[in-house]
A and B are shown apart, each in its own frame.
Chain A
Amino acid sequence: MSDVCIIGIGIHKFGRTDGVSGRQQGAYAVRQALKDCSLEWEDMQFAFGGSAAAGNADSLVNELGLTGIQFVNVSNGCATGGSALLSAYTAIKSGQYDVGVAVGFDKHPRGAFNADPKASGLETWYGETGLMLTTQFFGMKIQKYMHDHGLSPETLGLVAQKAFRNGSLNPNAWRRDPVELDTIMHSDMLSHPLTKYMFCSPAEGGVALILASEKVARRYTNRPVFLRAVTMKTRHYGSFEVFSPYLALQRAPAPTVFASKAAYEMAGLGPEDMDVIQIQDTESGAEIMHMAENGFCKDGEQEKLLREGATEINGRMPMNTDGGCLANGEPIGASGLRQVYEVVAQLRGECGDRQVPGNPKTGYTHVYGAPGLSACTILQN
């Protein structure tokens, strides 16, 4: 079986682009990715793509060309991009195809997501009485975690401060200005203990990746990045997930733990091998919990690591080097692929001001989200 490589990457700037639809941002990203590896849309044998709120991905063919391509829509909550990538990986790994594209894009209205109880299989009372907000879930989850593992609220501020600092070095990011720790800590308390600057906002953006079998990849690039692992897992009974009117008495490990473990096994590598890391930071608390869930530290060690600068671009485990969701915003369909875009760019040494020093060789990505799922990748050049 051939190894699977990423040979082309394309991105449409994240944030707000008035007058440009989510789909147009997706098509823009595909064109950029094709240009990156000097291929044409006509060369693509398959596509997997998705968006949560910006229409069916397969309608991209109207923008890109009616070539008869096999185009499958993916709809998998916050793992939409990760699932598109997993599907593309499998299509090549199986030997069925040699080259194709994974694409994700989105365009959400301003403000917190409008949750629909019925779409989540809940009755209307849950939303009606003010319990159906993702922000509440994030606040309660990190409240419990900080209580159980003795972390200070300032730990949350340090995560956000790093995100905006890294975002200021990334021309594709939405938030380009560093924010003082004091400002972060004293901004509006949206859902205790999380303040305004500790949350990412729903946003817009698009990312596309061109994948190829190793054999074909060598024809088009001398710098392929190998996809050593792609995994996706859903929650177990006892997991603490969003929009839950009740929880089981006993706890189960989070879906991330299972996706992460499977990724390390698939690649034959461990967390200590990762030179650059992108993990889901929907809000500051998420990055803190995900550091442990992905095996980068033990529960409770995060505050020390953040204060030491271990997760800075020049630290020993550079994390969310592009500013993460906090600085890029959250276009659900595109977020997971943005992380992969960043790691590929880092491994190629193309990240300019935010480049991780020392020629990173191996990278890691992780998404987590509604309704309790996670997808991870391990990349290597």
Chain B
Amino acid sequence: MAKQQVPVQEGLFTWPSDSPRLIGRREKKTGRVYFPAIHHYVADEDSEEVLLNTRGKLWTWTIQGFLPKNPPYKGPETVETFKPYGVGYIELPGEVIVESRLTVADPGKLKIGMEMELTIIPFREDENGNEVITYAFKPVEG
């Protein structure tokens, strides 16, 4: 039986879905978009939920070179198995710049301005044997 997939946080992205989207919130008065929507406790008449673009441009990036401390990190790696991972901000045109893990961790393959797209990745296994998933951005092929 396939493992059950559980989002790391309810309301971060649409799930289950064949074409998942990040969930943001737009303030009606200013037009400003926030992410994630769950973080912004705003009256319904003042704001609306928006499903964000799945493609954007890499705004900046880094590579996490050491195993983060637990807490708060809950990744499955140990000091021995840890592999650096990419982190960046992706500018979603006309909406907002979102922070995300990247599927690439090679400085030679990351360039500010390159096209990126949303993907969902397995992150860890929880205590019930479920696969915890989160969002990430990957370079657009071609």
A and B associate: yes
Extra A-B contacts (11), CB below 8 Å, given A189-B65, A246-B99, A249-B91: A111-B69, A127-B72, A128-B8, A129-B74, A135-B64, A140-B89, A143-B60, A192-B61, A246-B24, A246-B36, A247-B97
B61, B72, B101, B134: the one within 8 Å of A124 (CB):
B72
A114 near B72 with CB under 8 A, answer: yes
A125 near B64 with CB under 8 A, answer: no
B98 near A245 with CB under 8 A, answer: yes
List the A residue with the shortest CB-CB distance to B34: A246
B32, B62, B74: the one within 8 Å of A128 (CB):
B74
Q: How far is the CB of A187 from chain B (nearest CB, A)?
A: 11
Q: How far is the CB of B84 from chain A (nearest CB, A)?
A: 8
Sampled A-B contacts (11; CB under 8 Å): A111-B69, A125-B134, A129-B74, A129-B101, A130-B64, A131-B101, A140-B87, A189-B65, A193-B62, A245-B39, A246-B96
A246 near B97 with CB under 8 A, answer: yes
Q: What is the total number of residues of chain A having a CB less than 8 Å from a CB of chain B?
A: 39
Residues from 127 to 181 in A contacting B, C-beta threshold 8 Å: 127-133, 135-136, 139-141, 143-144, 147
Query: In the complex, A139 Cα to B62 Cα: how many Å?
Result: 6
A190 near B98 with CB under 8 A, answer: no
Query: In the complex, A10 Cα to B66 Cα: how many Å?
Result: 37
A245 near B60 with CB under 8 A, answer: no
B65 near A192 with CB under 8 A, answer: yes
- Tell me if A122 counts as interface (CB < 8 A to partner B): yes
A191 near B96 with CB under 8 A, answer: no
- Tell me if A295 counts as interface (CB < 8 A to partner B): no
Q: What is the total number of residues of chain B having a CB less than 8 Å from a CB of chain A?
A: 43
Contacts of A126 in B (CB 8 A): 72
Q: How far is the CB of B72 from chain A (nearest CB, A)?
A: 3
- Tell me if A112 counts as interface (CB < 8 A to partner B): yes
Contacts of A130 in B (CB 8 A): 64, 68, 73, 75, 85, 87, 101
A246 near B98 with CB under 8 A, answer: yes
Q: Identify the A interface with B (CB < 8 A).
A: 111-112, 114-117, 122-133, 135-136, 139-141, 143-144, 147, 188-193, 237, 244-249
Residues from 69 to 99 in B contacting A, C-beta threshold 8 Å: 69, 71-75, 85, 87-89, 91, 94-99
Contacts of B59 in A (CB 8 A): 144, 247
Query: In the complex, A130 Cα to B82 Cα: how many Å?
Result: 12
Given contacts A143-B62, A189-B63, contact A245 B69 (CB under 8 A): no
B72, B91, B96: the one within 8 Å of A115 (CB):
B72
Q: How far is the CB of A191 from chain B (nearest CB, A)?
A: 5
Residues from 6 to 60 in B contacting A, C-beta threshold 8 Å: 8-9, 12, 24, 32-36, 38-39, 59-60
B12, B61, B66: the one within 8 Å of A143 (CB):
B61
B9, B68, B97: the one within 8 Å of A248 (CB):
B97
Contacts of B101 in A (CB 8 A): 129-131
Contacts of B85 in A (CB 8 A): 130
List the A residue with the shortest CB-CB distance to B93: A249
Query: In the complex, A193 Cα to B63 Cα: how many Å?
Result: 8
